[in-house]
Amino acid sequence: MPVRDIINEAARNFAMAGIASPRLDAEILLAFCLDCERLDFLKNPSLPVAENALASFQKLAERRLKGEPVAYITGRKEFWSFVLDVNNSVLIPRPDTEVLVEEALILCKKPDTVEIKILDIGTGSGAIALALASEIPLARLTATDISAAALATARKNADTLKLNSQIIFLQGDLFEPVDDFFDIIVSNPPYIGEDEYEKLPVGVKNYEPPEALQAGADGLDFYRKIVAEAPGHLNNNGWLLLEIGSTQDAPVIDIFNASGQYSDISVRKDYAGLPRVIKARRKING
Ligand SMILES: C[S@@+](CC[C@H](N)C(=O)[O-])C[C@H]1O[C@@H](n2cnc3c(N)ncnc32)[C@H](O)[C@@H]1O
């Protein structure tokens, strides 16, 4: 069977199942089965696909039809300038999170000779910590997660990307395993409230780890805790940067203001024009 027919049929089935990017998903899964790049067969759509490869593709297509995200099927996801290993112990890194990385990099524009200490709370696959380490050779990162399985994945990604010498991984609840001070603290914490969680798409709710998503009744539990505890680990004038859900800017700004410990509170929008990152500077202890 030629590539063209396989892709067309799978894309049609995926579209009927309500999958948002049916053709792209079919192409990625076929490329994964054939161990090649999508472009390799898109240039030559009449290329025949061997029966064993077709059988493997059909198994993967069935998983996709049931709602499993492509990244968990292939075990990999592009983020920043690299490809990360992912599995169902980690959130699939989202492009929106690259905005948090960009904001942190703006704050790191110091001379190349200055070491900068950064803490990533809830590192998951390691996405944010690895992106920052890859861009700032003198950055020293600490990356934490409550999930041992997530940390194992993050460590593996750091090894693959040869960034392990820059990052210490610690398991524990938020700041509990951390006894250091940092210039920058970043986090993309869980931020889904109870009602919203019930309405999540199947691919998220049934496959992504609940502990990476759920954040109490109103989705703000982690913001309250991190905003309260971060000053105890930030150097004077250090920055806290938090990814937020697109409707959470006002309540999270309220949390920052109410703590009285921060100045220069601002919101950065993502490329869809939605509020995505809040950053604030720790006030100098007087
Ligand atoms: C939304 S995910 C973000 C993952 C990754 N940083 C990213 O941006 O793709 C939140 C992460 O926080 C972790 N987490 C949840 N509760 C935690 C806690 N109490 N302390 C530390 N990490 C926690 C989860 O295991 C998950 O990896």
Q: Which of 15, 37, 66 is the last residue of a domain?
A: 66
Cβ contacts of 128 within 8 Å, gap of 6 or more: 97, 100, 101, 104, 120, 186, 188
Does residue 191 share a domain with residue 100?
yes
Q: Is the CB of 89 under 6 A from ligand 1?
A: no
Q: What is the pTM of this model?
A: 0.95
In a domain, 44, yes or no: yes
Assess contact for 90 and 209: CB atoms under 8 A.
yes
Does residue 269 share a domain with residue 142?
yes
Query: Residue 110 has what pLDDT?
Result: 67
Q: What percent of the chain has pLDDT over 70?
A: 98
For ligand 1, the distance from its centroid to the CA atom of residue 189, given in whole angstroms, is: 5
In a domain, 226, yes or no: yes
- The first and second tokens of residue 15, run together, are 């579209």
Does residue 60 share a domain with residue 185?
no
Does residue 165 share a domain with residue 93?
yes
| Domain range enclosing 165 | 77-282
- Distance set, CA 66 to CA 86, 196, 200, 202 (Å): 19, 21, 15, 9
- Distance set, CA 192 to CA 88, 166, 204, 219, 279 (Å): 18, 31, 11, 5, 20
Tell whether the model's pLDDT for residue 46 goes beyond 60.
yes
Q: Is the CB of 190 under 6 A from ligand 1?
A: yes
- The first and second tokens of residue 225, run together, are 């805790």
For ligand 1, the distance from its centroid to the CA atom of residue 259, given in whole angstroms, is: 23
Tell whether the model's pLDDT for residue 199 goes beyond 60.
yes
Does residue 48 share a domain with residue 180?
no
In a domain, 238, yes or no: yes
Does residue 61 share a domain with residue 157?
no
Q: Which of 34, 66, 98 is the last residue of a domain?
A: 66
Does residue 269 share a domain with residue 133?
yes
Query: Residue 30 has what pLDDT?
Result: 96
- Counting Cα atoms < 13 Å in the Cβ hemisphere of 22 gives 16
Q: How many domains does the chain have?
A: 2
Q: Which atom of ligand 1 is nearest to the CA of 92?
A: 9
Q: Is the CB of 173 under 6 A from ligand 1?
A: yes
Does residue 131 share a domain with residue 42?
no
For ligand 1, the distance from its centroid to the CA atom of residue 145, given in whole angstroms, is: 6
Does residue 157 share a domain with residue 103?
yes
For ligand 1, the distance from its centroid to the CA atom of residue 228, given in whole angstroms, is: 17
Q: Is the CB of 123 under 6 A from ligand 1?
A: yes
Tell whether the model's pLDDT for residue 286 goes beyond 60.
no
In a domain, 142, yes or no: yes
Q: Is the CB of 126 under 6 A from ligand 1?
A: no
Q: With cut-offs at 50, 70 and 90, classify the pLDDT of residue 261.
A: very high
Does residue 147 share a domain with residue 34?
no
In a domain, 251, yes or no: yes
Does residue 139 share a domain with residue 41?
no
Tell whether the model's pLDDT for residue 276 goes beyond 80.
yes
Q: Which of 44, 66, 88 is the last residue of a domain?
A: 66
Please write the tens of the pLDDT for every residue from 57-108.
999 999 999 999 999 999 999 999 999 999 999 999 999 999 999 999 999 9
**CA dist., res. 231 & res. 64, Å (int):** 44
Q: Is the CB of 238 under 6 A from ligand 1?
A: no
CATH of the domain at 122: 3.40.50.150
In a domain, 72, yes or no: no
For ligand 1, the distance from its centroid to the CA atom of residue 28, given in whole angstroms, is: 27
Q: Give, using CA atoms, the residue closest to atom 7 of ligand 1.
A: 93
Q: Is the CB of 147 under 6 A from ligand 1?
A: yes
Q: By C-alpha distance, which of 52, 180, 187 is closest to 132?
A: 187
Query: Residue 111 has what pLDDT?
Result: 61
Q: Is the CB of 150 under 6 A from ligand 1?
A: yes
Handedness of CA 119, 120, 122, 126 (dihedral sign): negative
Q: Which atom of ligand 1 is nearest to the CA of 120?
A: 6
Average pLDDT for residues 158-172, to the nearest whole number?
Answer: 98
Please write the tens of the pLDDT for every residue from 102-141.
999 999 976 667 899 999 999 999 999 999 999 999 999 9
Please write the tens of the pLDDT for every residue from 230-253.
999 999 989 999 999 999 999 999
Please write the tens of the pLDDT for every residue from 48-69.
999 999 999 999 999 999 999 9
Does residue 218 share a domain with residue 136?
yes
Q: Is the CB of 244 under 6 A from ligand 1?
A: no
In a domain, 169, yes or no: yes
In a domain, 58, yes or no: yes
**CA dist., res. 51 & res. 46, Å (int):** 15
Out of 72, 76, 147, mutate this one to test ligand 1's pocket (max ligand atoms within 8 Å of CB): namely 147
Strand partners, 185: 119, 240
Q: Is the CB of 189 under 6 A from ligand 1?
A: yes
